[in-house]
Copies of this chain bind each other. A is one copy, B any other.
């Protein structure tokens, strides 16, 4: 069969259309963001710091952007993903701990009575964390998390948690990196928990993940060195801990910070109060239909001070409802 040849005019048209499509893509690095203040602000900031001739030029080495994770890059509702992991691990480990049936907060977790578990307070949460996060090697822990993420599903969406990431934020991460930024995660979540998926999911390598840590110990077991996770908190990377973590792990002040709750307040304050061009952005969860609507008074991801003080500090408040065309990558 002879292939039908396109006329020269049709070829020309095809080429023009392809070029136009490319040009549109090139002009819009953030296709899931609606046009508006938030998107313009981000694009103008990136243009300013990458313009060699401009007064706000920042050399690539200093283009450091920090992102909170829970509620900023992926969903934190109805509970933090790492807390869902804790619950599942307690259930999985319960046969080896018959005493948990009588002991809060474990009893509550096993019986699905999270209110009773929560009544054990911060000490109870710490007990849960240590029972599920310590006492194994770092390799064993990473494997457990990876296996769990492969099978666990979000209670409302029925999707893997690694699908519960925000498409507009994935685009933002990529856009910043294309413009010479180093993108870091700076999260209250456990650093070893996040490192298992941050590379594949966000394009953020292990050495650019800053988070909460527990103490570890180096050991040689049967001639093979391992690092063992100990049941002791080392560092909590939340609130005023975020600038501390940034300074400790990164060692210089970022020029852009992205968060969603008051746990990110000090990070945004630290980043945006330095001289020179700075970008502070808060993702406001105001989309109950596509995800969840919460801010003031929410037990998870409370956002109050950021809403009140953010605008006069020059921070951009992103409305998920209005600023985002799409929330999750799996949306049609």
Question: Which A residues are within 8 Å of any B CB, using their own CB?
Answer: 61, 64, 138, 182, 191-192, 195, 205-207, 209, 213, 216-218, 220, 224-225, 227, 234, 240-241, 243-244, 247-252, 266, 269-270, 273
Q: Which of A192, A234, A243, A248 has the most CB of B within 10 A?
A: A248
* Complex contacts, A250 vs chain B, CB 8 Å: 206-207
Q: How far is the CA of A241 from the CA of B217 in the complex (A)?
A: 8
* A216 partner, pick from B218, B227, B244, beta carbons under 8 A: B244
Q: How far is the CA of A191 from the CA of B250 in the complex (A)?
A: 11
Given contacts A207-B250, A247-B138, A269-B225, contact A218 B240 (CB under 8 A): yes
Given contacts A227-B243, A227-B244, contact A218 B252 (CB under 8 A): no
> What number of copies of this chain does the assembly contain?
2
Q: How far is the CA of A84 from the CA of B227 in the complex (A)?
A: 34
* Complex contacts, A247 vs chain B, CB 8 Å: 138, 216, 227
**Cβ A266 vs Cβ B191 within 8 A:** no
Return the chain B residue nearest A213 by Cβ. B248
Lowest 6 A-B CB distances belong to which pairs?
Answer: A206-B251, A218-B240, A218-B243, A207-B250, A206-B252, A195-B251
**Cβ A225 vs Cβ B252 within 8 A:** no
24 contacts between A and B (CB under 8 A): A61-B205, A138-B247, A191-B248, A205-B251, A205-B252, A206-B251, A207-B207, A207-B249, A207-B250, A209-B251, A213-B248, A216-B247, A216-B248, A217-B244, A218-B240, A218-B241, A218-B244, A218-B266, A218-B270, A225-B270, A227-B243, A227-B247, A234-B248, A249-B249
Q: Which of A207, A216, A227, A244 has the most CB of B within 10 A?
A: A207
Q: How far is the CA of A64 from the CA of B248 in the complex (A)?
A: 20
* Complex contacts, A244 vs chain B, CB 8 Å: 216-218, 227
Q: How far is the CA of A243 from the CA of B224 in the complex (A)?
A: 13
* Complex contacts, A191 vs chain B, CB 8 Å: 248, 251
Minimum C-beta distance from A31 to chain B (A): 27
Q: Which of A234, A244, A266 has the most CB of B within 10 A?
A: A244
Return the chain B residue nearest A246 by Cβ. B227
- What 11 new A-B contacts, CB under 8 Å, besides A207-B249, A213-B248, A218-B244? A182-B207, A195-B251, A205-B251, A205-B252, A206-B250, A224-B273, A225-B243, A225-B270, A227-B243, A227-B244, A249-B249
Q: Which of A209, A249, A273 has the most CB of B within 10 A?
A: A249
Q: How far is the CA of A225 from the CA of B265 in the complex (A)?
A: 12
* Complex contacts, A209 vs chain B, CB 8 Å: 251
**Cβ B217 vs Cβ A240 within 8 A:** yes
**Cβ A273 vs Cβ B225 within 8 A:** yes
**Cβ A266 vs Cβ B216 within 8 A:** no
Minimum C-beta distance from A293 to chain B (A): 30
Minimum C-beta distance from A146 to chain B (A): 14
Q: How far is the CA of A61 from the CA of B200 in the complex (A)?
A: 13
Minimum C-beta distance from A313 to chain B (A): 11
Q: How far is the CA of A250 from the CA of B36 in the complex (A)?
A: 38
Minimum C-beta distance from A69 to chain B (A): 15
